[in-house]
Amino acid sequence: MKYFLIYLFLEVMVSLNIGSQIGVMATFGELVISALLGGILLANFRLTLMQNLSALMQGEISPSSFQRLNLWAIVGAILLILPGFLGDIVGLLLQFSSLVTLIVSKFLHVKDETPTTTHFKQGDHDEIIDVEIIDDSHQLKQ
């Protein structure tokens, strides 16, 4: 609750300062345009989700990056829909941060260092995966 009140206070301060600088009509226009942009981003979220899913399947991003990209894209779109300049600024930054992360990972082939298998180092052997083999050949013969 405390953080919401802090955000609300900052939102009112920023909105009043920017609104007094640009005027009533420009403020109204900005509110309408940002709400439309947020609605368009939410409506086209399927496309963003498919692009992120494709990058995940190709190994360009990790599962945690996939979740982070999608979560912040939705939060940014919702902040754009809500009235206020601070929310619009943060919403735009969240949209660009997820877009920049996806583009950088595609073009630079940056992969997160999240290990998918467990490797063990024993002596001269660099990578040994510990497995258990169960012999069921006696059940296959009749």
- Reference 99, options 81, 125, 74, 73; nearest CA is 73
79 touches 91 (CB < 8 A): yes
* pLDDT one-digit tens code per residue, 44-53: 988 888 888 8
Q: Residue ranges per domain, the chain?
A: 7-113
116 vs 27, which has greater pLDDT?
A: 27
Cα–Cα distance, 27 to 21 (Å, whole number): 9
Q: What mean pLDDT is predicted for residues 88-107?
A: 79
pTM of the complete model: 0.65
**Whole-number pLDDT of residue 65:** 82
Cα–Cα distance, 70 to 68 (Å, whole number): 6
> How far are the Cα atoms of 15, 48, 86 from residue 82, in angstroms, in the given order?
12, 21, 10
* pLDDT one-digit tens code per residue, 80-96: 999 999 999 989 988 88
